Amino acid sequence: MKISGTVPPAFGDLAPTSASKSVTQPLQVKAGADRVEFSPKAREMRSAVDEVKKMPAVDLKKVAQIKAMLENGTYRTENRKIAARMVEEALLSDQ
């Protein structure tokens, strides 16, 4: 199959035109024409999202503690606790 970069005659109406390349006119909207209200739950969720965005992505203090424990050979895992949490999350995801 050879692709030449030209539009076959059967698809000529799909070829890009100068009018379809970009829209330069802004959308005109009447003031007060439409109104949107968010539910209390949506406002609460938005507030929660804003609070999470304020938090650091990584707890640097905890990372430093774990790193030191790994370097010292004192980092221990609680296998039963990890397994219980995995089962709990698996059961919750099935609901």
**pLDDT 10s digits, 7-62:** 555 555 555 555 555 556 666 666 767 888 889 999 999 999 999 899 888 889 99
* Residue-level pLDDT at 62: 92
Burial call 7-46: b when 16+ CB within 10 Å, e when fewer: eeeeeeeeeeeeeeeeeeeeeeeeeeeeeeeeeeeeeeee
* Residue-level pLDDT at 93: 83
Structure tokens at 2: 């050879």
Q: pTM of the entire structure?
A: 0.33
Residue 75: CB partners within 8 Å, gap ≥ 6?
66, 69
Task: Give the span between the Cα atoms of 91 and 95, in whole angstroms.
Answer: 7
